[in-house]
């Protein structure tokens, strides 16, 4: 029993070291000891194990204070590879991704309106087989899957996401584990994007932040102390269904007045169409017209931002977060909306006289966070590290 606990502790300690090396490399053993609170001796011992396994390597660098050269550590990016899978509404991406979040090889296919569990799995296996027949196979140590909710994360099941054709109750984790004999992990795509920001984004100065994806739906991924916080039933940060209008528009979740009914791209387009912007208006057209002064389209963006302000203020107060990172489909309005939300949050949120400089920033990635974040998902879960 003692032996087992010891092994578990080592597993956790080693994982914390690897995570800190990936995020902060190049980094010295002493810095790792300061960052993790582990003794220098423990760090040295565990690093030796990683080096023997070829996962971590030394790189000499001049000391910044101008003294002698010090030995720093970095990961060997190709030593552990992830088979990353991102299931989007309209397409499927599969790739071999290294420890630095770089996609080595990838395949994708469109998901058709005909999709059901069987057709989907056939397509998924076809793409995965192609990648797993390459020379990278032997270094693949886990499978990370990101998918729009609702999911049953702990059972590895995709339930029945809206607009997902006929994909229902699909036990994607067990299907993949069986076929490839590797551990697989499933998580909501927005949470995976949040993990991508922790490991590979240039925002890692924040230990506490909420990643918000604004597109046809709205999702939030909560990071606390550098780790994903998913709550009691996996629904923490489900921002699209926070209520911004009492007795408001009925949402498909059963509540009234959800943020998604006011600030998702779909809801904004719907409102603009109903208010005279033309029945064929698309989201991109709406943005372009708003930026060139079209009154209805400007109002639509204004209305959207107003509701986002309410939801952001509520989330800021509920989680006492340092920063919001925004990804999704805001395109040409991205920077404008980011700036506006930051201004409003700083002027409005509850602070009881304290300085509370909440930041709002754009995602470090364009579109790929939910895909490359699958590497972080495997790292956070695979205890073999």
Closest distance of CB 89 from Zn ion, Å = 17
Task: Determine the size of the site formed for Zn ion (CB under 5 A).
Answer: 5
Pairing of strands 157-158, 218-224: unpaired
For Zn ion, give the closer residue by CB, 162 or 276.
162
Q: Is 267 in the site for Zn ion (CB under 5 A)?
A: no
Q: Is 241 in the site for Zn ion (CB under 5 A)?
A: yes
Bridge partners (DSSP) of residue 323 are 209, 359
For Zn ion, give the closer residue by CB, 95 or 149.
149
Pairing of strands 323-328, 227-229: unpaired
Q: Which stretch binds Zn ion (CB under 5 A): 12-20, 26-34, 235-243, 324-332?
A: 235-243
Q: Which stretch binds Zn ion (CB under 5 A): 115-123, 247-255, 287-295, 322-330?
A: 247-255
Q: Which stretch binds Zn ion (CB under 5 A): 148-156, 231-239, 258-266, 334-342?
A: 258-266
CA distance 187 to 316: 23
- Contact between 363 and 201 under an 8 Å Cβ cutoff? The reply is yes
Which residue of 103, 119, 175, 253 would you call a contact of Zn ion, by CB under 5 A? 253
Q: Is 371 helix (H, G, I), strand (E, B) or coil?
A: helix
CA distance 195 to 311: 22
Which residue of 17, 251, 290, 372 would you call a contact of Zn ion, by CB under 5 A? 251
For Zn ion, give the closer residue by CB, 281 or 315.
315
Q: Is 325 in the site for Zn ion (CB under 5 A)?
A: no
**CA of 60: how far to CAs of 23, 27, 57, 63, 182, in Å?**
18, 10, 10, 9, 35
- Positive or negative CA dihedral for 253, 258, 264, 267? positive
Q: What share of the chain is helix, strand, coil (3-state, %, to 5)?
A: 45, 25, 30
Closest distance of CB 256 from Zn ion, Å = 8
Q: Is 258 in the site for Zn ion (CB under 5 A)?
A: yes
Q: Is 95 helix (H, G, I), strand (E, B) or coil?
A: strand
Q: Which stretch binds Zn ion (CB under 5 A): 214-222, 256-264, 279-287, 357-365?
A: 256-264
Closest distance of CB 222 from Zn ion, Å = 18
Footprint on this chain of Zn ion (rule: CB under 5 A): 241, 251, 253, 255, 258
């Amino acid at each position: 029993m003692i032996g087992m606990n010891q092994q578990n502790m080592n597993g956790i300690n080693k994982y914390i070291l690897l995570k800190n090396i990936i995020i902060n490399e190049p980094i010295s053993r002493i810095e790792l000891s300061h960052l993790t609170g582990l003794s220098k001796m423990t760090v040295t011992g565990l690093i030796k194990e990683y080096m023997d396994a070829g996962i971590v390597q030394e790189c000499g660098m001049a000391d910044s204070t101008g003294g002698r050269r010090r030995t720093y550590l970095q990961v060997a990016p190709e030593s552990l590879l992830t088979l990353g899978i991102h299931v989007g509404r309209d397409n499927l991406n599969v790739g071999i991704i290294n420890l630095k979040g770089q996609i080595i090889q990838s395949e994708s296919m469109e998901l058709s309106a005909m999709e059901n569990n069987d057709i989907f799995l056939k397509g998924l296996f076809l793409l995965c087989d192609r990648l797993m027949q390459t020379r990278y196979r032997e270094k693949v140590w886990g499978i990370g899957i990101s998918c729009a909710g609702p999911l049953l994360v702990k059972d590895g099941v995709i339930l029945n996401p809206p607009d997902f054709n006929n994909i229902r109750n699909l036990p994607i984790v067990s299907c993949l584990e069986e076929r490839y004999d590797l551990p697989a992990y499933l998580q909501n795509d927005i949470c995976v994007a949040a993990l991508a920001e922790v490991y590979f984004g240039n925002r890692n100065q924040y230990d506490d932040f909420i990643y918000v994806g604004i597109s046809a739906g709205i999702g939030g991924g909560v990071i606390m102390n550098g780790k994903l916080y998913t709550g009691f039933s996996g629904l923490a940060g489900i921002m699209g269904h926070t209520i911004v209008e009492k007795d408001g528009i009925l949402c498909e979740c059963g509540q009234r007045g959800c943020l998604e009914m006011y600030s998702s791209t779909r809801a904004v387009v719907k409102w603009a169409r109903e208010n005279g912007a033309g029945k064929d208006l698309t989201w991109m057209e709406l943005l372009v017209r708003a930026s060139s002064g079209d009154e209805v389209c400007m109002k639509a963006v204004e209305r959207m931002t107003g509701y986002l302000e309410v939801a952001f203020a509520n989330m800021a107060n509920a989680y006492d977060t340092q920063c919001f990172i925004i990804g999704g489909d805001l395109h040409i309005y991205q920077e404008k909306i980011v700036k506006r939300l930051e201004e409003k949050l700083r002027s409005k949120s509850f602070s009881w006289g304290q300085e509370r400089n909440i930041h709002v920033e754009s995602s470090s990635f364009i579109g790929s966070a939910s895909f490359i974040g699958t590497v972080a998902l495997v790292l956070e879960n695979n205890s073999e590290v």
